[in-house]
Amino acid sequence: MIKTKSYKKLSRMALLLIFGTMAATVTAVGMPYRDIHQNAVVMDMHNDTMMKVVDENTWLPVINIGEETPADFQLNLKKAGEGGLDVAFYAAYTAYQTDFSDVMARTNSRSLALLHALHWTVAQNRDSMALAESLGEIEKGIQEGKHVAVASLEGMYQFGPEYSKELLHQYYDLGIRAAGMVWNTPNDLGAGANVANHEENAGLTDKGIEMIGEMNRLGIMVDVSHMNERTFFDTLSVAEAPVIASHSGVDGIRPHVRNLSDEQLLQLKENGGVVSINFWRTAVADPGSSASVGKLVDHIDYVVDLIGIEHVGLGSDFDGAAMPQDLPDAAYLPKITEELVNRGYDKEAIEKILGGNNLRVLKAVEEHAGRQRKQSSSNSRGLGLTIIPDIQMGEIFDTTKPLLTATVADHGDGTAPFAQYRIIVNGIPYEAEYDAKAGKITHQMETDLLGRGTTADKGNFHAVTFEGKDAGGSMSRETTIIYVR
Ligand SMILES: [Zn+2]
């Protein structure tokens, strides 16, 4: 039995060694690239489309990408459909919002505004779009023929003070499944691509290490794309699950501060992670030479040659960057598959590049978080009761000190279903009042959420969580985003 098994394995390996390259070429030739593209899960790990969806001043969503959009939208649902784009990560991007004095609060509000815009977008397009928070939900959305959105953070500039774990948990509740701690500039967690490696504080901070641990625990993919090299290597040395570079090219084709060196790629392979090649013109080709699909696929080739087919994907940066001339928007995505076919990649390899590799990382991150959850909650007995916020996603309050309330479903015998309630606002926990008779938990905000009448404009968007924990430690929570004015 064992002998047969190992023989089979050996012979298969031998076959692969002898015929591997040839077989790949033979399979791909004559196979219409459009069929391969249509049948594959096409997954794009980064776009900035929500920045264009919101109004510049109010940050409220104003353009529905399910309808006709202004021509400059590189991604909308029509273009996603034409390009066969099944899954896209919609980033809530922010560096520090320095236009008012309460920088951290306003930065938090900006991230929430873009995340709210994504929830709004999905709500406007329920028939054709889904927001997925797990691999299972991604698969379900694809089966239903929907464009699947996943929420991500680009830049965690509001994190750092005391309650950042609480705040991260709120973002997880709101659907964030990938997060890059830094954009190009440094913050309390680490250093971005603009920070030289020899500078003081050029690496990951203690707070950054803590955040990575928490992302691994919750099941959020760590995105290393905008990090400088020191922060990148520090991150890979502490990450307990594979990481992603959601939109990065490679120095081997185009040396650039935003692209990854060979050393970084080799470390990424060790980690089991994936680099998703950025379409940004400037990161694809040297100045003076033209960025094209061909040049973009040169980056893919380079990664495959250096670290193998398992570690490369697509990260467009749509609506956040200038695209190659022959790849102006999402409708043109099949051209990448066409080029891969022309270069002799077989169907299986192409499926890995288009989405399979990033799905594998998401699965590994989910499984890691699942194991940790199992360990920490093995003794708790949940009552399975529910908390229903009396507040809708995106609800507008005409007061900056809102009364926050939620309904708690109890045992039906009037007994208090939970031992402990909290209401968390922007990462800060407050004790909630529980009215057993009414089945309500409430908190009256006493601090002005907007900072009206001061120079400290904290922004209109705020994250609110209602949480109940029973005696066994089992937790039930619901998180939403509110708008105060
Ligand atoms: Zn970016």
Distance 467 CA to ligand 1 centre (A): 33
484 CA distance to ligand 1 middle (Å):
29
Distance from Cα 54 to the centre of ligand 1, integer Å: 18
Å from CA of 233 to ligand 1 middle: 19
Going from the Cα of 248 to the center of ligand 1, the distance in angstroms, rounded, reads: 9
Q: What is the mean pLDDT of residues 255-283?
A: 98
Q: Does residue 12 register a pLDDT over 50?
A: no
What is the pLDDT, as a whole number, of residue 98? Answer: 86
Q: Are 42 and 84 in contact (CB under 8 A)?
A: yes
What are 411-445's pLDDT values in tens digits? 555 555 667 899 999 999 999 999 988 889 999 99
Averaged pLDDT, 143-153? 98
**Mean pLDDT within 65-70:** 98
Output the CA 282–ligand 1 centroid distance in Å.
12
pLDDT the model gives residue 452: 75
Query: By mean pLDDT, which of 23-32, 163-172, 454-463 is the weakest?
Result: 23-32
Q: pLDDT digits over 357-366, tens only? A: 999 999 999 9
Query: What is the predicted pLDDT for the residue at 433?
Result: 93
* Amino acid 18: pLDDT: 37
Ligand 1 centroid to Cα of residue 162, in Å, is 27
Instruction: Give residue 26's pLDDT.
Output: 40
Tell me how far the alpha carbon of residue 46 lies from the centroid of ligand 1, in angstroms. Answer: 8
Categorize the per-residue pLDDT at 6 as very low, low, confident or very high, splitting at 50, 70 and 90.
very low
Average pLDDT over residues 23-39: 71
Structure tokens at 284: 């694809």
The Å distance, Cα 153 to ligand 1 centre, comes to 10
Quote the ligand 1 centre to 154 CA distance (angstroms): 7
Q: How far is the CA of 183 from the centre of ligand 1 (A)?
A: 7
* CA of 215 relative to ligand 1 center, distance in Å: 20
Q: Ligand 1 mean position to 177 CA, how many Å?
A: 16
pLDDT over 80 at 410, yes or no: no
| Confidence band for 469, pLDDT divided at 50, 70 and 90 | confident
- How many A from CA of 182 to the centre of ligand 1? 10
Could you tell me the domains of the chain? Answer: 21-374 (3.20.20.140), 387-484 (2.60.40.10)
State the distance from the centre of ligand 1 to the C-alpha of 405, rounded, in angstroms: 37
pLDDT tens digits for 236-249?
999 999 999 999 99
pTM for this predicted structure: 0.92
CA of 179 to the centre of ligand 1 (A): 11
How far does residue 142's CA lie from ligand 1's centre (Å)? 26
Ligand 1 mean position to 225 CA, how many Å?
A: 7
pLDDT of residue 400: 95
CA of 460 relative to ligand 1 center, distance in Å = 24
Please give the distance, rounded to the nearest whole angstrom, from the Cα atom of residue 371 to the centre of ligand 1: 31
Ligand 1 centre to CA of 308 (Å) is 25
Output the CA 362–ligand 1 centroid distance in Å: 20
Average pLDDT over residues 386-404: 95
